[in-house]
Structure 1
Amino acid sequence: MSEVTLRPFLASDAAWLVKQHQTLYARDEGFDETFGALVADILAEFVAQNDPARERGWIAMEGERRIGSIFCVRAGPRTAKLRLFLLTPESRGKGLGKRLLKTCMAFARAAGYDDMQLWTHESHRAACALYAAAGWRLVDSRPVHSFGVDLVEQSWRIDL
């Protein structure tokens, strides 16, 4: 992998990010179109209402090519939420996920949050291993039917 830079999310990244989520999750997990719609709603809300002092998104770039993302958003006065963590398949396994996670957590800490939370699925084993290695704790796990498939939904948390 050549040099990877992290830059702030721009509204013009939204269509790429929705397409990547929809395509990759449909291919890898069988998710239906409701997942892409959820990602589009999350991004529309972020673009319209984010507080730059306490919320931020990053896009990982390899040259001119987007290869990943991560977002820190407000979940409460003292709690941040990690969202839209994505790596393209060719960028996985090279330390970029760890770098994105550290960047997001450092921002949340500097923005004054006491803790962070995230929501994911048990099937995202590599991401869950990364969270655990970074000190996150699994706080809830339950079977659900979402995005047209049966899943095990997980909630994770970390004190900053």
Structure 2
Amino acid sequence: MEDAVLRPFHPDDAAWLVEQHGLLYARDEGFDDSFAPLVASILDDFIANSDPELERGWIAEQDGQRLGSIFCVAVDRNTAKLRLFLLVPKARGLGLGKRLLQACTAFARGAGYKEMVLWTHESHTAACALYKASGWELTDSKAVHSFGVDLVEQSWKIRL
């Protein structure tokens, strides 16, 4: 996926992101229909309130087709949060996730954040392996029932 480009998120990408999160998480994880509205509310908040100096979203695309996303949002002035990291199945395992993660953490570092955190699920083995290989540290893991399924929630962080 060397020829894929990373471009800034635009508000007209939101519907695609909500749809992809809903479809892929239902198919791959068995999530119920409460997940897509959560993604929509995260994006609505980002569109309405993000500070472009401290927060940013990227869309990966190739030949005009969207392939994935990643977002950096502020928790506070010292901590950024990685959100909405997604790759469509055909774009997985080709290095594009690593490019997105590197762009996001480089932005957070450049914006002056001291650390970055994220929340995910243990079942996302490829993403978790990428986080670990990139220097992220698993800080918490717990069993939960969310989005209609039993999951193991994970929290990760990295010092920037």
What interval of TM-score do these two structures reach, taking the shorter chain for normalisation?
over 0.9
Whether the 8 Å CA contact 1:2–1:62 is kept in 2: the answer is no
1:57 aligns with 2:57: yes
The residue that corresponds to 2:120 in the other structure is 120
Superposed, 1:9-88 pairs within 5 Å as 9-88=9-88
Distance 1:153 1:112 in 2: 28
Residue deviations 1:3-34 (CA, integer Å, cap 9, x gap): 10010000000000000000000000000111
Q: Residue type matched to 1:129 in 2? A: A
- Aligned pair count? 160
Residue deviations 1:68-112 (CA, integer Å, cap 9, x gap): 100000011100000000000000000000000000000000000
Q: Residue type matched to 2:6 in 1? A: L
2:36 aligned counterpart, secondary structure: helix
Q: Unpaired segments of 5 or more residues in structure 2?
A: none
Q: Residue type matched to 1:110 in 2? A: G
Q: Residue type matched to 1:91 in 2? A: A
Whether the 8 Å CA contact 1:123–1:152 is kept in 2: the answer is yes
Distance 1:146 1:32 in 2: 9
Distance 1:46 1:2 in 2: 28
Q: Residue type matched to 2:19 in 1? A: K
Please report how far the alpha carbon of residue 2 of structure 1 lies from its aligned counterpart in structure 2 after TM superposition. Answer: 6.5
Residue deviations 1:30-69 (CA, integer Å, cap 9, x gap): 0011110110000000000000000000000101100010
Distance 2:52 2:2 in 1: 29
Q: Unpaired segments of 5 or more residues in structure 1?
A: none
1:111 aligns with 2:111: yes
Distance 2:100 2:3 in 1: 14
Distance 1:2 1:128 in 2: 22
Identity %: 67
Q: Residue type matched to 2:106 in 1? A: A
Q: Give me the TM-score of the superposition, normalised by structure 2.
A: 0.99
**Measured at CA, do residues 23 and 110 of structure 1 come closer, stay the same or move farther in structure 2, by a change above 3 Å?**
same
Q: Give me the TM-score of the superposition, normalised by structure 1.
A: 0.99
Q: Residue type matched to 2:60 in 1? A: A
2:113 aligned counterpart, secondary structure: coil
